[in-house]
Amino acid sequence: MAITAAAVKELRERTGAGMMDCKKALNETNGDVEAAVDLLRTKGLAAAQKKSSRTAAEGLVGVSVAGTKGVAVEVNSETDFVAKNDQFQDFVAKVTDVALGLDTDDVEVLAAADYPTGDTVKDVLTNNIATIGENQAIRRMKTVAVSSGLVVPYIHNAVTPTMGKIGVLVALESTAGADVLEPLGKQIAMHIAAAFPLALNAEGLDPELLERERAIAKEKAAESGKPDNIVEKMVDGAMAKFAKENALLSQTFVMDNKTPVAQVVEQAGKAAGADIKLTEYVRFQLGEGIEKKEDDFAAEVAAAVAG
C-alpha cells in the first residue's frame, strides 16, 4: 500500500527515528503506525534516535598501534558510569582496532566499516545505545604513520592499557630500533599529555588563533604608552613566546624543564647513532571542545512533575 507523508511524519514525531527508517518500517508493517512503532523499538532505532539530542561528553579515548601505524579514536557517552561498562569498553577496543585497518580519518567511513561480529560499526553502536540506554557517538579519529621507525602510544588516566581519558600517539621516523624509540616515544607522549601542544611546530599553529593572540598582544602593548615602533616589537616578542610555548618541538621538555623537545629528539638520535625525526603526533583528550549542558536539577524535577 502507498505510505503517506502524514504517516511518516506521525511515526517520526512519536519515535524520533529518521525519516527513511520510518518509511521503511511503515512499508514492512503495511502502513500500521502502531506496529511500525514497535518495529522501530525492536530494532533499537527509536531509542537511539530519541536519545541523540543528549550531550555525550563522557566516554573513552582508545588507541591501537601496529608498528609503524597507529590510530586514536574518541567514543563518547553521556555519563562516566557508562564509560565503565564492559560492553562500552569492548566496543571502544574493537572499533579502535577496526579503525587501525582503515586508511582514513573519516568517522563516517569507520561507521560503515565491518565490525568483528559481521555487522557494521554503526549497527553495533545503534544496538549499544538501545541496550545500554544512553546516547553514544564516535566523535573523531586520527591516524599517524611512518615509513620506518615506530608509532608509540600512551594513555593517561587509563582504565585499560589501550583506553582512558587522554590518548597520545607519537610518530618517530628512524632506522633506530624499538629499544631506543619506544622509551623516547613514551617520554615525549607523556610530555604531550601534560603540556598540551597546539601543533608540531610554529608553522602548524592555527592562523586564526595567531590572529586572536596578536590582537590581544597589541592591545596589551598599546596600554604601555610606548611609541608605535616599540609596541610592534613588543607584539612580535609576545607572538614569538606564544609560538615557542605552544609548538611541540620548541616546548621545554617537562622531564627536565630546560631542554627543547626538538633537542631531546636530536640528542637521542646522536646517542643511538641514527637520525630520529618526530614527524607527527596525536593528542585526544576526552570531551575537549564539547559544550556540556549543565542541567538545573530542581528545574528538571519540576518539569517532570508538571509533565
Long-range contacts, stretch 106-109, CB < 8 angstroms, 24+ apart? 106/141, 107/138, 107/139, 107/140, 107/141
Print pLDDT tens along the chain (307 aa).
678 888 888 888 777 777 788 888 899 999 988 888 878 866 666 654 444 434 457 999 999 999 999 999 999 998 889 999 999 999 999 999 999 999 999 999 999 999 999 999 999 999 999 999 888 999 999 999 999 999 999 999 899 999 999 999 999 999 999 999 999 999 999 999 999 999 999 999 999 999 989 988 888 888 888 898 999 999 999 999 999 999 999 999 999 999 999 999 999 999 999 999 999 999 999 988 775 544 444 444 344 445 4
What cell numbers appear for 197 in the block? 601542544
The Cα–Cα gap between 217 and 14 comes to 53
- Residue 273: HSE in the Cβ half-sphere, 13 Å Cα cutoff: 1
The Cα–Cα gap between 279 and 258 comes to 22
Burial class (CB in 10 A: 0-12, 13-18, 19+), 290: middle
The Cα–Cα gap between 30 and 2 comes to 9
Instruction: Write the CA distances from 272 to 37, 42, 265, 277, 280, integer angstroms.
Output: 65, 60, 11, 13, 20
What cell numbers appear for 234 in the block? 613588543
Give this prediction's pTM. 0.76
